Amino acid sequence: MNSDQIKTGPDKAAQRSLIKAMGYSNEEIKRPIIGIAASYNELIPGHIYLDKIADAVKAGIYMAGGTPMLFNTIGVCDGIAMGHEGMKYSLITREIVADSVEAVCKAYQFDGLVIIPNCDKIIPGMLMAAARVNIPTVMISGGPMLSGGTKKRKIDLSHVFEAVGAFNAGKITEDELCWVENKACPGAGSCSGMFTANSMNCLAESLGIALPGNGTIPAVKGERMILAKHAGMAIMNLVAKDIKARDMMAKSSFRNALAVDMALGCSTNTALHIPAIAHEAGIELSLALINEVSDETPHLVSLRPAGLHHMEDFDDAGGVQVVIAELAKKGLFNTDLITATGNTFKQNIANVENLDTEVIRPIETPHHPIGGLAALFGNIAPEGSVVKQSAVAEKMLVHSGPAKVFNSEDDAVAAMKAGKIVKGDVVVIRYEGPKGGPGMREMLVPTATIVGMGLGSDVALITDGRFSGATSGAAIGHVSKEAAEGGPIAALRDGDIIEINIPKKSLNVRLSDEEIAKRLKEVKMPDKKYTGALGRYQKLVTSASTGAVLE
């Protein structure tokens, strides 16, 4: 691909005429043309200012001798879509974003690409497109939101969901709930803990396709705008050196990303998105690799919801590059790979310094000797499931208890509000997977309700759906095969004893294989047929264990 296809030679006079109609001069047309894929909108706090980020990127491109061309993609805020049918439409936007960026890049034959996402599905969608089109690419996100509350009591979005559960349980007043609602999200940016958006923004740094600081510099700082200008300049350097997206996102890059994922205790959603991005780069990753990397990678950073710190604290301590440097000390990160700076990781981290060893633990004194995520396998999840083990209470790492089985998130939440969930229970929510949902809804409402009721250290939850990055507790998602595809989770009944052993990476029900097979033959699948975007997605989507990519 190169922009000569739309601008060079007598045969391209019509194309040049159309470009000039938009006000581009001959001088601009002759320069390398850089596509800017932004997801600015007035729907998402992390995106409401991305027009300003795009302007800064344009300035950087012009300063470095290129011509920017801006286009937009869609975006959905998971927090706003949470708890109703809108959440079915969240994950599917990942593929829509990827398709739209790919389509525009191919149609315009850009010389380079800058992607500007900031929230959950938009980040992996744009990275998937970058892997597909494989031209020089730099990612610059909008950056994280500051934490809310007061100096003595810092809070964030997950506290609001938990406060709703506490209010419904009669533990706080409506005035207290209102205070949390008004203080938790103080302004623009991606929600301020190590939730999915910030997880993916940090992992983009570890993949090398985003500049140092991308994952952590707060949205409201002038430093974020400076980074955006540098991204505009960096893309021109990559174009000059012909460093393409897949040069940065090689196979060992994804192992690097998983190592940082484990060190940061990232969202379980990364177990969907990292394999999906790798798939577009022609690389297949298995859930088993999560355990392989996790077992050798210590957990160094504990941010909300697992810990007390927020993204601004992580940034003040030095951010992702410090974590990379710590991992490199033990040979857990390949620093020889090329990055969006045009240099290797080894060059990028040469002068980094850990400025707060409470926020970023030295590799010799980690929070945990193993990583933040684990993949669990067993007769409930033969293809695997995922848990954020760094956010699980010690006593729940090994747990057995009776199943309370629900065929939808809505039924489970209603039971919780009615006081039907008690200590020791294992809540099972099924038919919420990629096909069964369809769309694999996040389960922040039920998990936050459990925490708000004071049962976060006493109740486990398993689902073939997924969880928000703001989830804490013994919440096990991505159970595969999912119920809608005849997975064993469809055979579970109330009272079955579920056995969870996170250290041994196992998830089982105390039933024989013969009993499970017998029950599955008797299962009547819910009749969920959809048209439009959900209908197409339901027909084409694959298992969560392979990233829920489309066939």
What is the C-alpha separation between 535 and 347, in angstroms, rounded? 48
CA nearest 120: which of 266, 228, 246? 266
**pLDDT for the residue 279:** 97
CA nearest 3: which of 35, 25, 27, 26? 35
Reported residue count of the chain is 551
Q: What is the mean pLDDT of each run of 10 residues along the chain (551 residues)?
A: 96 98 98 98 98 98 98 96 92 98 98 96 98 98 98 94 90 98 98 96 98 98 98 98 98 98 96 98 95 97 94 98 98 98 98 98 97 97 96 96 97 94 97 96 89 92 92 93 97 98 98 98 90 96 97 90
What is the C-alpha separation between 304 and 148, in angstroms, rounded? 12
CA nearest 210: which of 135, 127, 293? 127
In our burial notation (b when 16+ CB lie closer than 10 A, e otherwise), range 510-542 reads ebeeeebeebeeeeeeeeeeeeebbeebbeebb
Neighbours of 38 (CB within 10 A): 26
**C-beta separation of 550 from 537 below 8 A:** yes
What is the C-alpha separation between 335 and 330, in angstroms, rounded? 12
**C-beta separation of 44 from 190 below 8 A:** no
Q: Read off the pTM.
A: 0.96
What are the CA-CA distances from residue 153 to residues 147, 156, 179 (Å)?
Answer: 10, 10, 12
- Nearest-Å Rg of the Cα atoms of the chain is 23
**To 10 degrees, what angle do helices 92-108 and 270-280 make?**
30
In this structure, what token pair is assigned to residue 132?
Answer: 């597909």
**C-beta separation of 290 from 374 below 8 A:** yes
Catalytic residue numbers read 468
CA nearest 428: which of 372, 515, 382, 488? 488
